[in-house]
Amino acid sequence: MDVRYVAALARIAVTDADVARFEQELGDILGYVGQLSELDVTGIEPTAHAAPRANVLRDDVQGACLDRAQVLANAPAADDECVRVPPVIEEEP
């Protein structure tokens, strides 16, 4: 496997020592995956998870909420009907 190519795709800088180590580790991983591909899985249903999963989320229930005036009163800064926040992206001159 071309470690430098994969690192470039992932935008990760690697040293020569990293390349040597990752070549070994990736080779070991791919060898293990190769062993898994030799298993006979005839009659086994494909699954996305190794263990059965159930929906652990609760149903959505509407609760009490603040009205607009309360939200604006609690905001550090407000302008008309909007909460003002500091700019996230600076404009270029």
Percent of the chain at pLDDT > 90 equals 61
Question: Rounded distance, CA 59 to CA 57, Å?
Answer: 7
Q: 35-73 burial string, b = 16+ CB within 10 Å, else e? A: eeeeeeeeeeeeeeeeeeeeeeeeeeeeeeeeeeeeebe
Tokens for 46, please give them: 């494909």
* Residues 6 or more apart whose Cβ sits within 8 Å of residue 1: 23, 26, 27, 30
The residue among 1 and 2 whose pLDDT is bigger is: 2
Residue 15: per-residue pLDDT: 95
Question: Rounded distance, CA 36 to CA 5, Å?
Answer: 25
Tokens for 2, please give them: 């071309």
Work out the pLDDT band at 46, boundaries 50, 70, 90: confident
pTM, entire model:
0.43
